[in-house]
Amino acid sequence: VGAADDVVLIDQHCHGVLADDADGARFRFWLTEADTVVRDPFESLLGLAVRRWCAPVLELPAHAEPDVYLRRRAELGWREVTGRLLRAAGVSDWLVDTGFVPEPATTPAEFGAGRVREVVRVEQVAEQVFATADTVAGLLDGIRAELRRRASGAVGLKSVVGYRTGLAVAPTAPDDRAVRGAAAGWLASGQTRLADATLLDWLVHEAAAVGAELSLPLQLHTGFGDPDLDLRQADPLLLKGFLQSTTGLSVVLLHCWPYHRNAAYLAHVFGHVSVDLGLTVPYVGARFAAVLGEVLELAPFSAVLYSSDGNGIPELHHLGAVLWRRGLGRLLDEWIAEDVVGAADAERLAHATSAANARRLYRI
């Protein structure tokens, strides 16, 4: 029995699940970060992991062919498949980013698969206020008020500024004049999508203030994702100035690949920074132990968190959990065998990174 086999997880960042059936094309769309599916995502470590670990949950042999898997999925129906995969993940709490949801969506709570808690995506709050605002003051005051209102019912905040103008967030909030000018420009543009660097900096600092005030961690997307982002601007090292000026706030760096070592360094030098691997976990599949090992080279054990970034298809929520336990377990078993760590310490490390750190950070 591995050191992490039975550990119950807190999935500190995921999204909703599709509430209807997905045919082969739609399923593959959710199995890649590419905008257009040109190459078959089944032919990747993620695809192999689906066939190895999800097929048995649907009572197929491990490594079932993609067509066999998709046929079985259709036969059982999305409801049955989703319930099985989510319950078998062994997750007690899912922290769901409600700013991006598949359509139509459902959540793990509807399948008796654990509790769901909300993480508020701040750009979505700003864009929702924008839809009804007609003056600069109405827009800015409205965003401030709505952020506080939404935050009061949530366990955390999240920003996707890494997707918009990148992670080089100014160390201090822009001045009022600049913010008002930028807000006027946004209103005049008529474009709902917030893409102005001054306003995004302002919003992230507003979120940081709300987070510090209400003791809610601020999650930041870092590292890879769909091609909507410029990966060079998603290196968490760009956050240094912002992190130095926000020590009263807990900051969580999400996903991180290929900058997971940079993120581990930031967690090492800044006591208010934590790191997870999110999206990286299902995507790197069988390589996960190696990637996690690189994070643990420098990150303090109390700064490492689990998440799946599961989104759309429940296979991702499931694989995050399976691959996390397996990768962490393999790493710890190796360390025990090499006498790097004792069995009791290994077990504590497994529980801390799988759930206890998140429980403390989000006050669950």
Binding site for Zn ion (CB under 5 A): 309
Nearest distance, CB of residue 200 and Zn ion, angstroms: 18
Nearer to Zn ion, 55 or 85 (CB): 85
Residue 222 vs 353, nearer CB to Zn ion: 222
Residue 235 or 309 having the CB closest to Zn ion: 309
Q: Closest approach of Cβ 163 to Zn ion, in Å?
A: 10
Q: Which is nearer to Zn ion, 14 or 169 (CB)?
A: 14
Q: What's the closest the beta carbon of residue 199 comes to Zn ion, in angstroms?
A: 22
Q: Are the beta carbons of 197 and 161 closer than 8 angstroms?
A: no
* Closest distance of CB 225 from Zn ion, Å: 8
3-state secondary structure of 295: helix
* Cα distance between residue 81 and residue 209, in whole Å: 41
Residue 313 DSSP label: S
Q: How far apart are CA 59 and CA 94, in angstroms?
A: 25
Nearer of residues 107 and 198 to Zn ion, judged by Cβ: 107
Residue with tokens 């965003």: 143
- Residue pair 283/293 in contact by the 8 Å Cβ criterion: no
Report how far residue 278's alpha carbon sits from residue 316's, in angstroms, rounded to the nearest whole number.
10
- The residue among 12 and 353 lying less far from Zn ion, judged by its C-beta, is 12
Residue (315 or 349) nearer to Zn ion, CB: 315
Residues 6+ apart with CB under 8 A from 295: 256, 260, 261, 263, 264, 275, 277, 304
CB of 346 to Zn ion, least distance (A): 29
Pair 66, 42: CB distance under 8 Å: yes
For Zn ion, the nearest residue by Cβ is: 309
CB of 125 to Zn ion, least distance (A): 16
Minimum CB–partner distance for residue 23 and Zn ion (Å): 24
Nearer to Zn ion, 196 or 309 (CB): 309
The label of the residue with tokens 């864009």 reads 127
CB of 99 to Zn ion, least distance (A): 9
DSSP 130-145: HTT--SHHHHHHHHHH
Q: Count other C-beta atoms under 10 Å from residue 345's C-beta.
A: 15
* 10 phi and psi angles, rounded to 5 deg: -110, 120
Torsion of CA 137, 143, 148, 154, to 10 degrees: 170
